Chain A
Amino acid sequence: AQSVTQLDSHVSVSEGTPVLLRCNYSSSYSPSLFWYVQHPNKGLQLLLKYTSAATLVKGINGFEAEFKKSETSFHLTKPSAHMSDAAEYFCVVSAPGGSARQLTFGSGTQLTVLP
């Protein structure tokens, strides 16, 4: 079984300050982990993915995440927030289970960027 916990349902930062969105996972297998972003009335866009290579993963738009197995965490960070980063962010775990790849989503973190 696999699960994802996003520790904050809402995060508010000022433009130009760092962003930290927290995610813990649980998986019976060696997991693949993803962060997706969802802007209002839009589909999901992949920000970055971890698939057992480097533990520090760089994604699009200046986002990065670090896989920490000992802490079962995969937190998303960005050094400097931009107004366009305001959106819903989902941490996702994917693990092989049978023949199908099932993505398990966290409940989401709503990021607000203040001017």
Chain B
Amino acid sequence: ETGVTQSPTHLIKTRGQQVTLRCSSQSGHNTVSWYQQALGQGPQFIFQYYREEENGRGNFPPRFSGLQFPNYSSELNVNALELDDSALYLCASSPGQGARTEAFFGQGTRLTVV
């Protein structure tokens, strides 16, 4: 059984550019969530996808968007990058969307905006 994998591991972008981060969920998991972890802080919930539909969103602007594909892999897209978008972006997959289900995290993508 493979775990959650994210790509790329590191990325440097210029302010104003757009970026796409990718996540392959663990086998059998139909729910994917994305989190942003700024330096020295706990992860913040961006949004969740369940069976290809966004069904929950945190306090992030619309320039943060995502997709989930039929194989349950997912993308996070960020447009018009700002310096404050520099962070570790974590993807988590789980076998369901219930509150008691465990989330399995990938190792993250470190995004630096210059």
Contacts and interface: CB of A to CB of B under 8 A. Distances in A.
Contacts of A45: 105
B107 A49 contact: no
A100 B41 contact: no
8 contacts: A34-B102, A43-B107, A44-B90, A46-B103, A100-B50, A100-B55, A100-B57, A102-B58
A32 B94 CA distance: 15
Interface stretch (A14-22, A62-70, A71-79, A104-112): A104-112
Interface of B: 4, 31, 33, 35, 40-45, 48, 50, 55-58, 90, 92, 94, 97-108
Contacts of A42: 107
Contacts, number: 77
B43 A105 contact: yes
Given A42-B107, A103-B33, A108-B42, A51 B100 contact: yes
Interface residues on A, range: 20 to 34
Nearest to A110: B40
Contacts of A99: 50, 55-56, 97
A32 B100 contact: yes
Given A49-B102, A102-B58, A43 B108 contact: yes
B104 to A, nearest CB: 8
Contacts of B55: 98-100
Given A43-B90, A100-B48, A101-B48, A106 B42 contact: yes
B110 to A, nearest CB: 9
A107 B41 contact: yes
A52 B59 CA distance: 28
Instruction: Find the residue from A29, A46, A96, A100 having the highest chain B CB count within 10 A.
Output: A100
Contacts of B44: 105
